[in-house]
């Protein structure tokens, strides 16, 4: 009897627009790829040649600190040329459309556009308009896929889930669920990887439609706390809340703020997460944000490896005439230290070509 050969996984996504479009296998492959890149940032010379000769443009139409800097550094660490463009100071300020701006940028030989925009669907619109890869760095209230990925990466690494299987793990996402692209991306990713997700917030910020994504909803934070392995505190999106969603900030903080006192109700080793930027004293007390259970800065650190993986995979997919980066398209092939699902270094891969990039 001959053994059936195991089907080789193949990354086929030219764009990264949201976690809704990715399968569990895609997400695991991306996070494993990030695991391989983690080590690059610990070197004295923090660079691998994977994207040498490629051009990445950060096109940010909304404010950002973490995501913009992280993509910039991630592209630099992969040896790409990086350009940063903001709405202010560009021809967008003169009335040029998003599509026209992107097409003009692409005409200069760009390989990846990383886009942040206040309108939900902006990244999808760009992806339809250009031939290069598009990565969504946050679109309105829709998705923030790289934030979702780095949150999941941090959670899995902290819990020792090196295979990125989150079965049996319960996560509470707390706060302004209605306006949160971070919540939506986390939900898609966490549920696909097997986690149980409880969305917590005032009823006015807790759309019942989220149950269709496989989540539980609750407005009783204190009752949820003892059940969870991680609490991801979301920022109140003051810039997106148009009507009076809750009586006062003080009342919101009273019922949904994570204080030291409230944290004492949770499991002793519960993880405290926040995507940033933090409204200190509103959704989270400073002592908790800076406390021993907080993973906030670790999330930021992990974002670099995750974004390196995203850039690496979408460019490999685009150039791969044979169709996408395969399971042999590893960070090791691009010059990073290889890491397996169990954290051990595997045998070196065969000559690594990443979707035709010729990285060997
Ligand atoms: N978490 C996050 O997206 O932060 P920035 O808005 O600073 O990019």
- Examine residue 128 and state whether it is found in any structural domain, yes or no: yes
Do 156 and 280 share a structural domain? Answer: yes
Q: Determine the distance separating the centroid of ligand 1 and the alpha carbon of 73, expressed in angstroms.
A: 15
Q: Is residue 3 part of a domain?
A: no
Same domain for 164 and 202?
yes
Number of domains in the chain: 2
Do residues 216 and 197 both lie within one domain? Answer: yes
Determine the distance separating the centroid of ligand 1 and the alpha carbon of 63, expressed in angstroms: 8
Q: Report CA(3)–ligand 1 centroid distance (Å).
A: 48
List, for residues 183-233, the tens digit of each pLDDT value: 999 999 999 999 999 999 999 999 999 999 999 999 999 999 999 999 999
8-12, 134-138, 252-256, 332-336: segment of lowest average pLDDT: 332-336
**Domain membership flag for residue 183:** yes
Last-in-domain residue among 274, 299, 324: 299
Of the listed ranges 87-101, 129-143, 266-280, the one predicted with least confidence: 87-101
Mean pLDDT of 287-312: 98
Whether 188 and 270 map to the same domain: the answer is yes
Of 11-20, 253-262, 326-335, 342-351, the range with the lowest mean pLDDT is 342-351
Same domain, 67 and 138: yes
247 lines ligand 1 (CB under 6 A): no
Query: Ligand 1 within 6 A of 69 CB?
Result: no
Residue 352: pLDDT band with limits 50, 70, 90: very low
* Per-residue pLDDT band at 338 (split at 50, 70, 90): low
Q: Phi, psi at residue 230, to the nearest 5°?
A: -150, 145
Distances (CA, A) of 13 to 18, 85, 254: 11, 24, 43
Pocket of ligand 1 contains residue 239 by CB under 6 Å: no
> What is d(CA 217, CA 201) in angstroms, rounded to the nearest whole number?
8
Q: Do 195 and 221 share a domain, yes or no?
A: yes
Ligand 1 centre distance from Cα of residue 351 (Å): 37
Residue 52 shares a structural domain with residue 19: yes
Residue 204 CA to ligand 1 centre (angstroms)? 24
Specify whether 31 is located in the same domain as 81.
yes
Q: Are 353 and 346 in contact (CB under 8 A)?
A: no
Q: How many A from CA of 150 to the centre of ligand 1?
A: 12
For 74-126, the pLDDT digits (tens) are 999 999 999 999 888 788 878 899 999 999 999 999 999 999 999 999 999 99
Q: Is the CB of 101 under 6 A from ligand 1?
A: no
Q: Which atom belonging to ligand 1 lies closest to the Cα atom of 65? A: 7
Q: In what order do the strands lie in the sheet containing 112-117?
A: 81-86, 55-60, 112-117, 133-139
Name the residue of 58, 60, 63, 65 whose CB sits within 8 Å of the most ligand 1 atoms, as the mutation to test its pocket.
Answer: 65
Name the residue range of residue 98's domain.
10-143+301-334
* Exposed / middle / buried, residue 334 (Cβ in 10 Å: 0-12, 13-18, 19+): buried
Taking CA atoms only, the protein residue closest to ligand 1 atom 3 is 67
Check: CB of residue 74 under 8 Å from CB of residue 308: yes
Give the Å distance between the CA of 144 and the centre of ligand 1: 9
Q: Are residues 231 and 108 in the same domain?
A: no
Cβ(65) to ligand 1 under 6 A? yes
CATH of the domain at 209: 3.40.50.1370
* Domain membership flag for residue 224: yes
Q: If you average pLDDT over every residue of the chain, what do you get?
A: 88
With respect to residue 4, please indicate whether it lies within any of the assigned structural domains: no
Q: Is the pLDDT of residue 320 over 90?
A: no
Are 259 and 135 contained in the same domain? no
Q: Does 174 map to a domain?
A: yes
Checking if the pLDDT of 346 tops 50, the result is no
- If you measure from the C-alpha of residue 112 to the centroid of ligand 1, how many angstroms do you get, rounded to a whole number? 19
The CB of 67 under 6 Å from ligand 1? The reply is yes
pLDDT in tens, 163-172: 999 999 999 9
Q: Are residues 123 and 55 in the same domain?
A: yes
Closest C-alpha residue for ligand 1 atom 6: 64
Closest-lying ligand 1 atom to the alpha carbon of residue 275? 1
Instruction: Tell me, yes or no, whether 249 and 288 share the same domain.
Output: yes
The pLDDT assigned to 239 comes to 74
* pLDDT average, residue stretch 328-349: 54
Cβ 66 under 6 angstroms from ligand 1: yes
Q: How far is the CA of 65 from the centre of ligand 1 (A)?
A: 6
């Amino acid at each position: 009897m001959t053994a059936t050969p195991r089907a080789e996984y193949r990354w086929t996504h030219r764009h990264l627009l949201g976690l809704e479009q990715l399968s569990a296998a895609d997400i695991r492959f991306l996070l494993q790829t990030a695991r391989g890149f983690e080590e690059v940032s610990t070197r004295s010379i923090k660079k691998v040649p994977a994207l040498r000769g490629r051009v990445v443009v950060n096109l940010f139409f909304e404010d950002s600190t973490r995501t913009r800097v992280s993509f910039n550094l991630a592209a630099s660490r992969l040896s790409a040329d990086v350009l940063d463009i903001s709405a202010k100071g560009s021809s967008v300020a003169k009335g040029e459309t998003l599509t026209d701006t992107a097409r003009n940028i692409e005409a200069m030989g760009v390989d990846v556009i990383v886009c942040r925009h206040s309108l939900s669907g902006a990244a999808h619109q760009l992806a339809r308009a250009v031939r290069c890869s598009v990565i969504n760095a946050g679109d309105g209230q829709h998705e923030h896929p790289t934030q979702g990925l780095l949150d999941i990466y941090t959670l899995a690494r902290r819990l020792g889930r090196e295979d990125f299987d989150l079965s049996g793990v319960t996560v509470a996402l707390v706060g302004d669920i209605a306006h949160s692209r971070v919540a939506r991306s986390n939900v898609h990713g966490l549920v696909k990887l097997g986690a149980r997700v409880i969305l917590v917030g005032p009823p006015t910020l807790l759309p019942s439609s989220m149950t269709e994504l496989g989540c539980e909803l609750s407005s009783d934070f204190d009752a949820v706390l003892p059940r969870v392995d991680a609490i991801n505190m979301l920022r109140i999106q003051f810039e997106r809340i148009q009507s009076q969603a809750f009586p006062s900030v003080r009342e919101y903080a009273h019922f949904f703020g994570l204080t030291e006192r409230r944290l004492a109700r949770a499991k002793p080793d519960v993880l405290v997460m926040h995507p940033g930027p933090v409204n200190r004293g509103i959704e989270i007390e400073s002592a908790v944000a800076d406390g021993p259970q907080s993973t906030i800065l670790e999330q930021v650190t992990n974002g670099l490896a995750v974004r390196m993986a995203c850039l690496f995979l979408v460019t490999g997919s685009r150039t791969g005439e044979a169709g996408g980066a395969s399971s042999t398209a590893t960070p090791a092939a691009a010059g990073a230290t290889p890491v397996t699902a169990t954290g051990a270094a595997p045998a070196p891969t065969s000559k690594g070509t990443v979707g035709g990039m010729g990285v060997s």
